[in-house]
Amino acid sequence: MNKTIDDCQSFMDVFTPLIWNEKDVDIVIAPPYTALYTMANLLEITEVKLAAQNMFYEEKGAFTGEIAPAMLTDIGCEYVIIGHSERRIIFGETDEVINRKVRAARNFGLDVIFCIGETLAEREAGKTFDVLKRQLQAGLKDMLCDGLVVAYEPVWAIGTGKTATTAEAQEAHEFIRATLTDIYGNASTGLRILYGGSVTPENIAALMACPDVDGALVGGASLKPDSFAKIVKYNK
């Protein structure tokens, strides 16, 4: 819940020139709903894709305050984030609700950035793998893996300044990849897994060196165009 329309315009004025020639990386930006239309226009001259931060699972109806999948595609979104830890924890979204959202998004042609991750209490209780397996199996029930990106975000590392060590990140990502293989078999080959949790220009290279980390779900560091651009161009 950051940035007005004017803020987004100012962001892109700086960000666009910084990433203009980046052709070998997929960049997706997820502004608030109020800025989606403006951002869709600003992104037209770039290779950057547009995402929404959330959506509802019904096509239309008496769901005051909610946003339908077709409303997102109509405005130019190609991606939607589903299952972010804040949606799970603050707004009480269950695995069942998240699964309905994932299926609805794919039915309307939206690619899904599907978020999973454990809390500090769950990690300290040794339940990390149990939580990840449950979230994957329940959240992706009756789903194909096309149009899917998985984002691992350890809740204890989001906005706290704490980052999973590279060993912790790799261990979780390796488990997620194995679980996706169990669910989808060979169809999961090439499915990308992102790391999210206090990603910065200073730690992105080490995280991306992990064999099973394919990208980043960037939070606070994406609010500043120069820091986000440094993350995009970490290997330059």
Query: Among residues of the chain, what percentage have pLDDT more than 90?
Result: 92
Report angle CA 232, 111, 105 to the nearest 5 degrees.
140
Q: Please identify which of the residues 84, 93, 122, 173 carries the catalytic annotation.
A: 84
Model's pTM, two decimal places? 0.96
164 — pLDDT class (breaks 50, 70, 90): confident
152 — pLDDT class (breaks 50, 70, 90): very high
Domain count for the chain: 1
81-99 pLDDT per residue, tens: 999 999 999 999 999 999 9
What are the residues facing 195 on neighbouring strands? 152, 216
Residue 6 has pLDDT above 80, yes or no: yes
163 — pLDDT class (breaks 50, 70, 90): confident
Count Cβ atoms below 10 Å from residue 164 Cβ, excluding itself.
24
pLDDT for the residue 25: 95
- The kind and range of the H/E element at 123 are helix 120-124
Indicate the DSSP class of residue 20.
Answer: T
128-148 pLDDT per residue, tens: 999 999 999 999 999 999 999
- Report helix, strand or coil for 150: strand
Half-sphere exposure of 130 (CA within 13 A, CB side): 8
Q: What is the extent of the structural domain holding 168? A: 5-232
Active site residue 173: no
pLDDT for the residue 89: 94
pLDDT for the residue 142: 95
Q: Please identify which of the residues 93, 118, 122, 153 carries the catalytic annotation.
A: 153
Least confident of 63-67, 154-158, 206-210, 213-217: 154-158
Dist CA 222 CA 12 (whole Å)? 12
Dist CA 36 CA 52 (whole Å)? 8
pLDDT for the residue 166: 93
Query: At 74, which CATH number?
Result: 3.20.20.70
Residues 25-32, mean pLDDT to the nearest whole number? 97
156 — pLDDT class (breaks 50, 70, 90): confident
pLDDT for the residue 158: 76
64 versus 197: which is more confidently predicted?
64
Count Cβ atoms below 10 Å from residue 196 Cβ, excluding itself.
23
Active site residue 84: yes
